[in-house]
Structure 1
Amino acid sequence: MRRPTIIDVASRAGVSKSTVSLVLQESPLVRPETRETVRQAMAEIGYVYNRSAAQLRSSNTGLIGLVINDLRNPFFTEFATSVQMALSARGYATVVANTDESPELQAQVVGAMIEHGVSALVISPAYGSEGSFALLARAGVPAMQVLRKVADTSRFPFAAPDYARGSRLAADHLIAAGAQRIAFVGGLEGRGVTAERMSGYLEAMAAAGREPFALFGRSSRAFGREAAHRLTAEHPEIDAALCFNDLVALGMMTGFAELGRPVGRDFRLVGFDDIEDCAQVWPALTSVHCDIAGLGGRIAATVLGWLERDEVPPPEWHGPVDLVVRASSGGT
């Protein structure tokens, strides 16, 4: 007969695996009523704590996994850094993995992190990576989805900036600035995050009685440069764009410079994320500010509240955004 495991205890008690671990370690962070529920579950299923084996694993206590879909993108790098620094300030170590948008690689790194005893995971998932969350569900490891959403949020809570509000602010700004034909540029068609980042733009276009226009593609500088050339050659009537992210917008600035088309006067341009480069390029890039550092700190605090006090996060949370107006959209 199979011996009961810590995962069995967590399932019977209706708490996370990490909460059971804290009870076994006699941590004062667990509420008395939760501690009693866990101990009752242990008694009911006949679980026996192997303290010597646990001591061999003690070096992994306080280890948080951070899985990011694309660390080449400065937005994700800034986010990962802010999470890691916030966790470090609370005495937790972080193991970081880049999945390079590969569902197979994500499943591999998630499995390895589970085997090495991470207490929780924060995942900005690759699309098509639902299998990774099945692994986490079986292991009973608390996990949050961030920035992108691919799995059930009642089991794996989701947090991201308010993309819809951000694109509405940007589109309304371009309309008020005098743009006549506004395009949405970048993002792969059919992806949830593209739809979210485009939704506010579509609302603004509808409210103003204007026809939307989208040019979908990879969220890269290379695609942005190509888009500038395509719009100029094929759609010269378009005089403004809201981009899926700052990388696309920065690529468009390069393309327009090659064409001798002044950004900020002949073409108004807005990015999304407000990475550090936005304020450093010329002309400075208007962008939807997502408070990356603040978001990372909040995610870290949320995960630790889940681990230490069994405070399960809400299924979805959307962080505040605002628009930082600079010269690329006609600002100063």
Structure 2
Amino acid sequence: MNKRPTIVDVARHAGVSKSTVSNVLQNSPLVKPATRAVVERAMIDLNYVYNRSAANLRGGDVGLIGLVINDLRNPFFTEFAASAQMSFASRGYATVIANTDEDPALQARVIASMIEHGVSGFLISPTYVDEPRALENVWRAGIPAMQVLRRIDARTDIFPFASLDYAVGGRLATRHLIAQGARRIAFVGGIADRPVTLERLAGYLEVMREAGLAPKAFHGRPSRAFGRDIALRLAAAAPEVEAAVCFSDLVALGMLAGFAEAGVRVGEQFRLVGFDDIEECALTWPRLSSVRCDVARFGRHSAEAMLAWLETGVRPPECHLAPVEMMARHSSLGG
């Protein structure tokens, strides 16, 4: 791995003093426009990114944390962000939160802007990108960054990854439905071939294979609308399917609505399990069974890991998977 360029390298390349480069970085009016142009050209040539966060921490300023979230419209990610933000606030850190709306270009702009504005660290729940080194700018800036809930950069020695044990969750949900007597069980939701989909699907496939049962998957955007459409399709054209493990609670809640529309009694005629256990699961009727991920606790622990890294230099483990549990309610138990 190449050494990141320093302020000394920029000064040498531009043929000026280190203090002149520092003045340029601080936007000092003492620097002549021609000199500023030479220094900025040198920074571009060397691919130098100013780590303002490190400078702030050396000066004793309170740190600013960047929370980059792929979909704040989803209550699961909102709960994570809120929990992490409150943990940072309790230790005197300010946060700036950005919703990237599953847009890779927006994600890149948000990250670049946060670097420029001097964040001390990043918690990034990323949208998926094609570039294998999508966090390269963060690495060059020397800013501690954790990938959470999704992984887009394989360099976990640089960008530690923390998530929930989704494969175990898939196993728990499928075993639970089999224990209730279901045999024709579908997996519903999640964009095909996305890592997070494959993780949740893996547990389902493993248990179905062990039980000698045929898997059946319906992939698509993890939304209520998709869940409703699948429920209506199953009710009309595939009545043999008697249960489902859903990629997310939003999909499962959509299926509840679709089955209600089709006159199918969930919990009795069809057994349903969601994934994430957002608050609405215990409030809707029939109450929705779900794989509980305790994302609030996960948000707190992620923030604590980042704070330990910033304040004591203790880097989080390269990969950490938090435990999950099965919460059985009326939608799968009936009665």
Unaligned runs of 5+ residues in structure 1 are: 9-53
In the TM superposition, residue 293 of structure 1 has moved relative to its aligned partner by 1.1
In the TM superposition, residue 108 of structure 1 has moved relative to its aligned partner by 0.2
> For residues 270-309 of structure 1, what are the structure 2 equivalents within 5 Å?
270-309=273-312
Query: In the superposition, relative to structure 1, how do residues 263 and 90 fare at CA in structure 2: closer, same or farther (>3 Å)?
Result: same
Looking at structure 2, the residues matched to 132 and 66 of structure 1 have their Cα atoms a distance apart, in angstroms, of: 16
In the TM superposition, residue 185 of structure 1 has moved relative to its aligned partner by 0.0
1:261 equivalent in alignment to 2:269: no
* Deviation digits for residues 249-295 of structure 1 (CA, Å, limit 9, x no counterpart): 00000000000000000000000000000000000000000011110
Looking at structure 1, the residues matched to 229 and 125 of structure 2 have their Cα atoms a distance apart, in angstroms, of: 27
Look up the match of 1:140: 142
> For residues 172-211 of structure 1, what are the structure 2 equivalents within 5 Å?
172-211=175-214
Unaligned runs of 5+ residues in structure 2 are: 11-54
Look up the match of 1:111: 112
1:221 equivalent in alignment to 2:234: no
* TM-score (normalizing by structure 2): 0.82
In the TM superposition, residue 154 of structure 1 has moved relative to its aligned partner by 2.1
In the TM superposition, residue 236 of structure 1 has moved relative to its aligned partner by 1.3
1:92 equivalent in alignment to 2:93: yes
Look up the match of 2:127: 126
Looking at structure 2, the residues matched to 229 and 7 of structure 1 have their Cα atoms a distance apart, in angstroms, of: 64
Looking at structure 2, the residues matched to 7 and 81 of structure 1 have their Cα atoms a distance apart, in angstroms, of: 40
Query: In the superposition, relative to structure 1, how do residues 231 and 193 fare at CA in structure 2: closer, same or farther (>3 Å)?
Result: same
* Deviation digits for residues 51-107 of structure 1 (CA, Å, limit 9, x no counterpart): xxx679969631000000000000000110000011111111110000000000000
Looking at structure 2, the residues matched to 148 and 178 of structure 1 have their Cα atoms a distance apart, in angstroms, of: 33
Looking at structure 1, the residues matched to 223 and 6 of structure 2 have their Cα atoms a distance apart, in angstroms, of: 49
Aligned-residue CA RMSD (Å)? 2.1
Query: In the superposition, relative to structure 1, how do residues 129 and 73 fare at CA in structure 2: closer, same or farther (>3 Å)?
Result: farther
8 Å Cα contact 1:107/1:129 also seen in 2: no
- Equivalent residue letter for 1:122: L
- Equivalent residue letter for 2:332: S
8 Å Cα contact 2:67/2:123 also seen in 1: yes
* Deviation digits for residues 97-121 of structure 1 (CA, Å, limit 9, x no counterpart): 0000000000000000000110000
8 Å Cα contact 2:88/2:95 also seen in 1: yes
Look up the match of 2:47: none
Look up the match of 2:242: 239
8 Å Cα contact 1:60/1:116 also seen in 2: no
Looking at structure 2, the residues matched to 6 and 65 of structure 1 have their Cα atoms a distance apart, in angstroms, of: 28
Query: In the superposition, relative to structure 1, how do residues 171 and 182 fare at CA in structure 2: closer, same or farther (>3 Å)?
Result: same
- Equivalent residue letter for 1:306: W
Look up the match of 2:157: 154
Q: What secondary structure sits across from 1:293 in the alignment? A: helix
Looking at structure 2, the residues matched to 260 and 331 of structure 1 have their Cα atoms a distance apart, in angstroms, of: 16
In the TM superposition, residue 140 of structure 1 has moved relative to its aligned partner by 1.0
* TM-score (normalizing by structure 1): 0.82
Look up the match of 2:51: none
* Identical-pair percentage: 59
Looking at structure 1, the residues matched to 259 and 334 of structure 2 have their Cα atoms a distance apart, in angstroms, of: 18
